[in-house]
A and B are shown apart, each in its own frame.
Chain A
């Protein structure tokens, strides 16, 4: 009897927390879409802000869409190129050095928690040191630093689950640790790695504070790495700060655009990784 009550109690508790979380998400999405869809039009997507855009006149946020895509693709690419090999190194080469490994994981978890504005300040300091001005490049470097711990730890958690037996099997066939890393362990965990990359991409495209001082903000579309670039989160921030109601609604429209970009990229990469995976595992 007691067991039954316990079962019912915990089951309803889980159900309630599930419903709570889902409903919060639904409410957020609903309010964004309700305010945003009205303001969303073709012009928003295809035009740069013209003079007076922030007072409610014509124009769009193409500058921020393009800027955000450049920035987050650049940063995700860089972070993947650096982060995935680091995670592989940890799980193939350092697998024996458990103390060092735990220390690295601890450090990464620690810097994962550093707020992105601190990365922004650090990036700014780095820019001053290197003598580069507010630009797409500076933004990409800063965002890369910001998402690297996320990328490495997410990949690491995936690779950790790769069985030791597989590593042993590959090594026994006479492959070096590098061959084992890239041809066996990485492939085995491929879909998990894609998820880790997506997670980092989401953080990269959604963050405002790290790009505030580094990529800056501009109404034009950058044509080189040395020009400043606008981003959607900052665009949302500036539009929300406006006293004009139409402009505030445009902020929600920009949020809708951001959400749709993330959605499309997630679905695309998942589909691709599934297709790739099907032929191997």
Chain B
């Protein structure tokens, strides 16, 4: 394993029923970089992402073979409680799902369930994380209103704040800007560029321009297979595979 590889996927196959969704996936995701999983819709990107924090456990009739190493621990075959594994990874989904509680508690939720109940400390952390995602100025005077009253863009930033609040090492983002307006999207993108100093970010997208803007490392998938992977500069300027070239030129999707 490369020294600064955070996530390493080895020979991962995933079936749903008889359908072969992920085919022999082998990838290495570098630490404290922004890795983009790129590919057309339905190529298995989201499924791959959800394998990493074992949300695939929730799906019907799924069979997985292979390994996913995170810090040398195979999360698919480990005795560690799956709750502990998930705590390492914040998830940002396609559209925000605020918890059914007020803005404050959305951020404090993860802290409270891990036993931190000191009011002052919680206040400080909630403020800190809301500031980190540039939401504090918009909500500081209505922290006790339901989170669902916020706009979608604000909700997505709130979801990011609530994910960061539990101190993850990795951020998994599944097309996190696809439901957002351009300004909110830009905020999220810019935030990611800042956050990658401290976090390993894995982001799924089918938007080529977005990948070009922010990727450090690119994994290109097509029909359940990884076609090509590498540092962004190399990937975009000098793609090796025919399929990648075709995709970059907009031949499909």
Contacts and interface: CB of A to CB of B under 8 A. Distances in A.
Q: Do A and B come from one complex?
A: yes
B58 A279 contact: no
A167 to B, nearest CB: 7
A62 to B, nearest CB: 42
Interface residues on B, range: 35 or more
Interface residues of A, number: 28
B77 to A, nearest CB: 18
Given A173-B109, A174-B166, A96 B55 contact: no
Contact of A98 (B61, B91, B113, B159): B61
Contact of B58 (A163, A167, A176, A280): A167
B89 A172 contact: yes
A172 B113 contact: no
A178 to B, nearest CB: 10
B58 A95 contact: yes
Nearest to B94: A165
A184 interface: yes
A171 B102 contact: no
Contacts of B110: 173-175
Contact of A168 (B62, B83, B93, B162): B93
Contacts of A281: 100, 146, 148
A156 B90 CA distance: 29
Contacts of A82: none
Interface string B98-129: 01111000000110011000000000000000
Contact of B101 (A165, A187, A278): A187
28 contacts: A95-B58, A96-B57, A96-B58, A96-B59, A98-B60, A166-B97, A168-B50, A168-B93, A169-B91, A169-B93, A170-B99, A172-B53, A172-B55, A172-B163, A173-B87, A173-B113, A173-B166, A174-B83, A174-B86, A175-B83, A175-B110, A176-B83, A183-B113, A184-B100, A188-B100, A278-B146, A279-B102, A281-B100
